[in-house]
Amino acid sequence: MFVVHYPTDHETALTQEDSVVNQHLILFDLDGTLAPLSRPIPETALIAIKALQDQGHIICIASGKPLYYLTGLCRQAGLRFVWLIGENGATLQKDVALPPRERLRLPISAAAVAACEQIRKDAVATFGDHIWFQPNEVAVTIFFDTAETQQAIREWLDIKENWLSENQLIIFPHNDSFDISPAHIDKGKAILKLLDYLGIDQKRSIAVGDTWNDVPMFEVCAEAIAIAFPEAKMATHHVADLDSAFDCIKTLL
């Protein structure tokens, strides 16, 4: 049976931030990378993450999901002392405790907040009960009920392209949703803020992802591992699956 080890008080005091000189920040996207969409993180991945933590490296999960979703997921999986980046970079916190032990934010203008609220209102007026929203703090994530609604949202966003650009909003399309975020917020900018906060050299950062909202993460990390994502030309490594990504990480440390 798979058992997650919870550290003693003594082990807790010796956090991974203080344990090794060659410490790396290792970042994973969630859906499609660490876990299949709407599925748990596999036990093999949890074991591999714990092994990296035991070596003194800092683990971060960077996702389009909000922090409250990520904290619940990690708590249930037994993941401790991880950093979490939510809403594609808008929100950051350390560990799964609520309220968080440490919390960071990228600057967000009042105009960006207003634009996000406006696109949300417009979507409700246009699609009504055919859509629902992820409970974000900043960004807008639109889920849809059918493939027809998905296509209609795609066409609607195309029509609003100029408005979105004028209001500095960007779109990350997914198989099950559309993320709409302020253009100055992305996973890459959040990672740079976290690296600075932790005092880790950018050269000791590794990102693992599988889709377009991971591209900013690939662009700022020293090593970028793309899983089944050949379009990511900026990635330094391409692998077929998560197990291969962990093998690749081992060769980089």
CATH (domain of 140): 3.30.70
Structural domains in the chain (count): 2
Instruction: State pTM to two decimals.
Output: 0.82
Same domain, 98 and 192: yes
Same domain, 191 and 93: yes
Q: Is residue 2 included in any domain, yes or no? A: no
Q: Which of 125, 150, 182 is the last residue of a domain?
A: 182
- The arrangement of strands across the sheet holding 177-182 comes to 131-133, 140-144, 177-182, 169-173
pLDDT value of residue 49: 97
Q: Is residue 220 included in any domain, yes or no? A: yes
Same domain, 193 and 94: yes
d(CA 115, CA 104): 22
| Domain limits for position 207 | 23-106+185-252
Q: Which of 130, 153, 182 is the last residue of a domain?
A: 182
From the list 5, 1, 79, 12, the residue with the least C-alpha distance to 40 is 79
pLDDT value of residue 192: 97
pLDDT value of residue 20: 58
Q: Is residue 3 included in any domain, yes or no? A: no
Same domain, 102 and 203: yes
In this prediction, the residues of the chain whose per-residue pLDDT falls under 70 are: 1-20
Q: Is residue 209 included in any domain, yes or no? A: yes
pLDDT value of residue 13: 41
Q: Is residue 90 included in any domain, yes or no? A: yes
Same domain, 49 and 147: no
Same domain, 155 and 201: no
Q: Is residue 151 included in any domain, yes or no? A: yes
pLDDT value of residue 17: 46
Q: Which of 152, 182, 212 is the last residue of a domain?
A: 182
